[in-house]
Structure 1
Amino acid sequence: MAPTGEGEKENHSSNALDTGLKLYDMDEEGLTFMKAQTGIEDEEELKKHILAIRAEGYSIFPYHCIMRFAFLQLRLARLPAYNQLLALGTERKDAIFLDIGCCFGYDVRKAINDGFPIGSVIAADLHPEFWELGHKLFKSTPETFPVPFLPGDAFDPVFLEPTAPFTASHPPPAPRPDLSTRTLTALNPLRGHVSAIHASAFFHLFDEERQAQLARSLACLLSPEPGSMLIGGHRGLPEAGVWTDGRWRRAGEDGTVRFGHSPESWAALWDGQVFEKGTVRVEAVLREVERAPDVAGAESGDTKSYNLCWSVTRL
């Protein structure tokens, strides 16, 4: 899979984590959730615990999202189509929910806590160490939190090889895998069987061509049943194009320049390019966010940025 979260590799400066400390913040909902999940009621003790996991995760790979505590932000639960995702878990028999680019597993745990059946959930990420740190963060074990985890690269055809999206007239040839057997080693057997896919802080890591490739790969995982959906959020722009601020203009590890979709270009990608025109409903909105200049890395000093919050639902 491609890099998790914001993905931009930070400089290995000794003060990077200290600089981001000012971003440690949880509202009442997030605090209540963390206390319940960890069993730690004392807020100072909880903060120390979170900071220790953050430092350990940052040492594995210095992602910007770890430095700025993105793993505490309840991203999935605050997307407009979140309740639609939860409804699939209660209304559809054997619905499968995939959280791709899951990092520590914060969002998938929140969805389970809010009612999505745990036996129908699977998570995937490039770095298996992050999933292990998730157990450490939430004080769980593979036995107490038995969600299957698959390490892999979403651009590796051995892990996920794209095909045309499945339809009612062209259903997946293989039966739905039994997640309880925990025998999956790749996402390919799930093609055509996933009811809901969450992919946040993921697409914006790549150029326009690679984002289209990733969209096609995820689309082939989706069940052809009406209501099957993809949901996520990542950096976007009012008008589609390459990033213009300092940190995001830099070339990525693969030499590419980051590309930002607008709501209009994002809808056009899914409705007409990835899926046949008129077979999906795309909802995408921009939310303006303010970023602290010393952690945003903007050479221009402009701290304004946008999150593109979206869902793609099969009709």
Structure 2
Amino acid sequence: METPEGAATNRRAEATQDARSHAVELPSDTEPTLRLLEQYSGIDPKDVPGLVRQVVMVEQQAQALTVFPYGCIKSFWFLNLVPTLDDPRYQAVAERLRTPRSTETFLDVGCCLGPVVRLLASQGVPDDRLHGTDLHAGFLDLGHELFGDRGRSRATYVAGDILDESDARLDVLRGKIDIIYALAFFHLFEREGQLEAAKRMVGFLRPENPRVMIFGQNQGPKIEGWEKYVLDPGRWTSLWEEVGRATGTRWRTEMEVESTDKWNNVRFGVYRIV
């Protein structure tokens, strides 16, 4: 009987073999991910766009949409590494994780197919210190299929509900993480959900490390009600003051806001006060 790992390997081989005849035009902002597939996964550059189509798409429909219908799936935004690479905090974190003798660990929450975890591995961070989590196990499985690293990557991927304290699947992360990345994550929830997610993240952080941090980005359209999802600097600080009271910790927040006529984009950092 064919194992799930064997089936995935066979599908990947078929996809690569058939890639040139199934080319798909991808947005320009997916270019860093396409290069990652070449460098990390060892895929022939000519086969990469077709492989993305074969793994992610089924009969012209996004296979990932059957896991959960996020809008970023249709637009391929979930494969956009540009916001990550352009983030000064990410650049500093990657250097910090590569430092000789570093034992610090990294977690990408809401990692989807996990391109950021693979990006760090390709940039020289030992993958046994890298973690990804998502509510949907199907995204994690598609990530292994797309990047072809099931069985060879030492990174840890855990499916679980960060808003559900009773979801014991995420207990494996408790007290073991030094740096948490939350790209396009907090804006999925209104303030109460953000509060619950933040408290759970605090539980993931290593209590003995004074340099633990949480960073990432949020964005949303300038329409009525969206301020409940993308908090401004004052409400973001207030949120983390409440997190501190609930968890017996103290936090310093940073936020940079970039606005256009139609969108609010924010970058943030959260640091423990000791």
TM-score interval (norm. to shorter):
0.7 to 0.9
**Equivalent residue number for residue 35 of structure 1:** 38
Asked if residue 275 in structure 1 is aligned to residue 240 in structure 2, the reply is no
- Unmatched 5+ stretches in structure 2: 1-23, 57-61
Q: Secondary structure at the match of 1:210?
A: helix
Q: 1:215 & 1:191 partners in 2: Cα distance? A: 13
Asked if residue 121 in structure 1 is aligned to residue 130 in structure 2, the reply is yes
More helix by share: 2
Asked if residue 310 in structure 1 is aligned to residue 263 in structure 2, the reply is no
Q: Secondary structure at the match of 2:183?
A: coil
* Residue 211 (structure 2) aligned to one of 210, 217, 227: 227
**Structure 2 matches for 1:1-315, cutoff 5 A?**
24-26=27-29, 29-43=32-46, 45-54=47-56, 55-74=62-81, 75-91=83-99, 93-141=102-150, 143-159=151-167, 186-224=169-207, 225-235=209-219, 242-243=225-226, 259-270=229-240, 272-275=241-244, 279-288=250-259, 304-315=262-273
Q: Is the 8 A contact 2:255 2:267 kept in 1?
A: yes
Distance 1:33 1:23, change over 3 A: closer
| Deviation of the 1:212 alpha carbon | 1.4
Q: Is the 8 A contact 1:263 1:308 kept in 2?
A: no
| Deviation of the 1:314 alpha carbon | 2.1
Q: 2:187 & 2:50 partners in 1: Cα distance? A: 31
Q: Secondary structure at the match of 2:253?
A: strand
Instruction: Deviation per CA, 1:44-95: give whole Å up to 9, x if none.
Output: x322221233322123322111111122211433322113322442447432
Instruction: Deviation per CA, 1:9-46: give whole Å up to 9, x if none.
Output: xxxxxxxxxxxx88722376444323223433344x32
Distance 1:41 1:189, change over 3 A: closer
Q: 1:111 & 1:228 partners in 2: Cα distance? A: 18
Distance 1:278 1:238, change over 3 A: farther
Q: 1:242 & 1:67 partners in 2: Cα distance? A: 24
Q: 2:94 & 2:45 partners in 1: Cα distance? A: 31
The aligned amino acid for 2:48 is: L
Distance 1:40 1:126, change over 3 A: same
Q: Secondary structure at the match of 1:193?
A: coil
- Unmatched 5+ stretches in structure 1: 1-20, 161-185, 245-257, 290-301
The aligned amino acid for 1:209 is: E
Aligned length: 240
Q: Is the 8 A contact 2:26 2:49 kept in 1?
A: no
Q: Secondary structure at the match of 2:29?
A: coil
Distance 1:23 1:286, change over 3 A: farther
Distance 1:190 1:38, change over 3 A: closer
Q: Is the 8 A contact 2:111 2:132 kept in 1?
A: yes
Q: Secondary structure at the match of 2:215?
A: strand
Q: Is the 8 A contact 1:77 1:110 kept in 2?
A: no
Q: 1:237 & 1:220 partners in 2: Cα distance? A: 31
| Deviation of the 1:305 alpha carbon | 1.2
Q: 1:52 & 1:62 partners in 2: Cα distance? A: 18
Q: 2:31 & 2:197 partners in 1: Cα distance? A: 35
Q: Is the 8 A contact 2:249 2:272 kept in 1?
A: no
Identity of aligned residues (%): 31
Instruction: Deviation per CA, 1:161-205: give whole Å up to 9, x if none.
Output: xxxxxxxxxxxxxxxxxxxxxxxxx22243333101112211111
The aligned amino acid for 1:99 is: D
Distance 1:62 1:110, change over 3 A: same
| Deviation of the 1:118 alpha carbon | 0.8
When the two chains are superposed, the root-mean-square deviation of aligned CA atoms in Å is 2.9
Q: 2:176 & 2:154 partners in 1: Cα distance? A: 20
